[in-house]
């Protein structure tokens, strides 16, 4: 992936997570963990964190193993996130605005309150031509106009 498409990186629980601009708009990719590459990415704004396990009420099957998963929509598993404890889960939620499947709320609004959103606004300012090009890629989040608005508000705010 081109590094100028990445707008937010964080390492949580030994796993690298990157928010990047994809052909669907802002997305999250799950990267390396202890030298092993995890496959998986999901568009931000429609994805959330979901627990699959044998002790789950309702008995949902474990698609890739018991634990937390990055899920698009309600049950389209995109990445397995083994070994995330409560602290790591909270850091991941805050970094990318991800809700768990048990929480009420809109995934798009949760993203707009995240650190990744603030970084996306800065990315759009730093790469205006690239941001305009990717403005056409808003399948899940209407991010471009909102980022431009946020950037204008930041410039107008007193220092």
Q: Between vectors from CA 70 to CA 67 and to CA 76, what angle results, nearest 5°?
A: 105
Please name which of 49, 5, 24, 40 lies closest in space to residue 140, comparing C-alpha atoms: 24
Domain ranges for the chain, please list them: 3-156
Residue 24: the pLDDT is 92
Please name which of 101, 73, 93, 104 lies closest in space to residue 17, comparing C-alpha atoms: 93
Please name which of 115, 116, 101 lies closest in space to residue 43, comparing C-alpha atoms: 116
The residue length of the chain stands at 159
pTM for the whole structure: 0.88
Block means of pLDDT (10 residues each) for the chain, length 159 residues? 87 91 94 67 94 63 77 88 90 97 92 97 96 92 95 86
Residue 135: the pLDDT is 94
Residue 32: the pLDDT is 66
């Amino acid at each position: 992936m081109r590094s100028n498409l990445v707008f937010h990186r964080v390492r949580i629980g030994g796993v690298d997570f990157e928010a990047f601009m994809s052909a669907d708009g802002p997305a999250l990719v799950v990267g390396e963990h202890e030298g092993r590459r995890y496959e998986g990415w999901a568009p931000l704004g429609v994805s959330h964190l979901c627990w699959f396990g044998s002790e789950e009420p309702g008995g949902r099957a474990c698609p890739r193993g018991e634990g937390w998963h990055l899920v698009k929509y309600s049950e389209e598993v995109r990445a397995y996130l083994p070994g995330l404890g409560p602290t790591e889960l909270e850091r991941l939620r805050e970094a990318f605005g991800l809700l768990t499947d048990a929480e009420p709320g809109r995934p798009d609004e949760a993203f707009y309150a995240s650190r990744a959103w603030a970084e996306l606004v800065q990315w759009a300012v730093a790469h205006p031509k690239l941001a305009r090009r990717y403005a056409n890629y808003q399948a899940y989040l209407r991010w471009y106009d909102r980022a431009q608005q946020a950037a204008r508000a930041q410039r107008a705010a007193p220092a």
